[in-house]
Chain A
Amino acid sequence: MDLAYTQEQEQFRAQLRRFLAENLPERTRDKVRLGKRLTKAEMQDWHTMLNARGWLAMNWPREYGGAEWDAVQRQIFEEEACRAHAPRIVPFGLKMLAPVLFEFGSEDQRQRFLPPILCGEHWWCQGYSEPGAGSDLASLRTRAVREGAYYVVNGQKTWTTLGQHANWIFCLVRTDPDAKKQEGISFLLIDMDTPGVTVRPIVLIDGEAEVNEVFFDNVRVPAENLVGEENKGWTYAKYLLTHERTNIAGVGFSDAALATLKHVAAHTMASGRPLDQNPHFAARMAQAEIDLMAMRTTNLRMISAAAKGHAPGIESSMLKVKGTLLRQELSALLRRAMGPDAMPYLPDFLDGGDNADPLGPEHAPAAAPGYFNMRKLSIFGGSNEIQRTIIAKSALGL
């Protein structure tokens, strides 16, 4: 048993820290630090900077332009990037589609689709959920009918995160309506510039349109955009969902949120003393920190098992549930720390308006919207209820 990082890992961390200090634009860092909304250009610029250093596709093999980092290195990157208030890496192409192409795609598809992800020419989004297929994803109804060299797609996807910026979407579509529901699904790559694709933004509780509905009306998709075999899409989707979940503990995010919270609580006066000396608030903050300390180790235990070739199973479900509850708690504490200053809704400030008055401390405007936004964590990527069912069935045999 040794809880320390190796010397190489510490050197790696120092190298990342230097890179972040030297390269992350101050304006972007400040926006992330204060929970402001990023533009597509700001996200893209960060991708471009990482890619120039060969670090954007951290989980890809080197021959495709990846960094080929192991799970511990990826975890260290997450910690350092969050600590430096870097934007999160938009995961859809890099961390979700790419692993599926490596595992199940053809070499042609890898050659065609991977380079545009790296250079930012393709922005991917995820076409999974539908209005009638949320937790019960396999009941999805978007149809793809083969007509010669094309699939003709009709239907609707929803909750498509950052779909407004995307020009490609990977979709689960139904190709065999007569098969058992999991067995008639295929995995299709669709160019969103194709006629018949419409994107409609959905404004959420925090006032931001982060997710979208995507409609398909007789959209003709070349058959070579099918990944793997027809009707085997559910297998690929499950593979992808596992990948989606490995990072979902969000330890790095929680570390950064706790650091911000502690800073705010030490500098906010409540009834004549700093808030971190209010016993009720301090107790909740301390409990969150204690949970986070344990979760960091739970996360590393899982990562080190994965590094030894152990496929993530219920561990990812566990981390999803605990990790999201913790991030939600930290966001609730920040909101409460802001007191009455959490009330004003200031979209100009959140959109990065340089002269917009925060009407309070600089962390105040994003505190309540951030808290409300975090409610999504226990809903998406397989709701926490679904995760608990997986744990009960797979780990407990109930």
Chain B
Amino acid sequence: MCEFVIPGAQNTTVLVVGATSSIGRIVVRKLMLRGYTVKALVRNADQEVVEMLPRSVEIVTGDVGDPATLYAAVQGCNKIIYCATARSTISGDLYRVDQRGVYNLTKAFQDYNNKMAQLRAGKSSKSKLTLVKFKTPESVDGWEVRQGTYFQDVVASKYDGGMDAKFEFTFTGDAVFSGYVFTRGGYVELSKKLSLPLGRTLDRYEGLVLSVGGNGRSYILILEAGPSADTSQSKLYFSRFNTKAGFCRVRVPFSSFRPVKPDDPPLDPFLVHTLTLRFEPRRQKAVEGRTGVQQQDPRSFTLILEYIKALPTGQETDFVLVSCTGSGIEPNRREQVLKAKRAGEESLRKSGLGYTIIRPGPLKEEPGGQRALIFDQGNRISQGISCADVADICVKALHDSTARNKSFDVCYEYVADQGKELYELVAHLPDKANNYLTPALSALEKNT
């Protein structure tokens, strides 16, 4: 009967960051109408700000750029909606709010989750599971370096440069996998049977995150899955990932793994028992290295491994981030803005929290629910959107399992001039009576 009743709203505390922004203001009101407990993070709680917010909102003073102030903000929170953005396009501001701010908040939130879980003598269901951590010389034990070829090249074998690889713990404290493959169709790989902590299975996780550093090659991650008693029945699944020159964290969702034999069923993370990291000289891109550095031979590689962790799975999104598509920003600053926003998005994806990243078109200050919306991925949208519609998506996404771990663009439906319509668009009209979000998002790619 009542369109504002949301099951679970009573027991949910939402932290709204940027509660005084054009979207945040409406988000706060919408949450209050639906019976959520709302905390608002503001930079200074002066009279003007306090009057702008409903009185039952708990106001926390803090700054996303200052991690120390965030621990009070995340106390008791179940979910976060981040609609803050830098007030200027100065790089320093952008870095502090849009990039570092998101990272700081995800970290504070995860720390809080872990602390709460420890109080209950358990592990947070949102915390990542460390599969391997290369910190000690012993940690490289048990990893097996192998080499092989995809095909036998009779002609070229005469000129075969050979291949070699090693995995060692250096005196600087890094576990380094390095080598070269000059043989055509050759590859080298690093493999180990996984030993999960007692009572842990990978089916409660939805992907892997690797912290690696190196010279920017791409690698193939191979998971061997099957009954661990009989390895002959194991099936192989692979997924390719790219690294950057320098250190980076790579997210590899289980859903991105494809069976080596196309007929095999999709990967069941529960059955995974062996992890393999393979390097092959095929399909290596030239690294966008610093200018002046001599171009390296793409057939050689160095990879410093720091850790491999599993990302937890879940039903709902924990962190809704309002990003942007880049249209509507003044062209000469667009690069910088987008760079900071993308970096912020990236740190959220790697955090292990369930995330929803909304990239609205240019914002308009007008009432929502008037025009049909287009949900899309791939930066193809052209229209604006009202702040109220973005706020509605934020609030709806909190309890929508189809919104978890998705990034999407959203804007108004493009309305062609009379008589110039090319085709009919299938769009979603936002209305409180119908749930437009689920059907709209279920068509979109996950883990984006």
Are A and B a genuine interacting pair, yes or no?
Answer: no
B-side residues, CB < 8 A to A, are none
